[in-house]
Amino acid sequence: MTQAFLDLIRSSPNVLIYASTPTCAPCRAIGPIVARFADEHKGEIEVIKVDASNPTVAKALNVQAVPAFIAFRHGTEFGRILGSRVTREKLAEVAGL
Closest to 6 in 3D by CA, of 50, 66, 69, 65:
50
Residue 56 belongs to what domain range? 3-95
43: burial class by Cβ within 10 Å (0-12, 13-18, 19+)?
A: exposed
pLDDT digits (tens, 9 = 90+) for 61-70: 899 999 999 9
Could you tell me the pTM of the whole model? 0.88
CATH code assigned at 83? 3.40.30.10
Number of structural domains the chain divides into: 1
- Give me the pLDDT at residue 1, please: 59
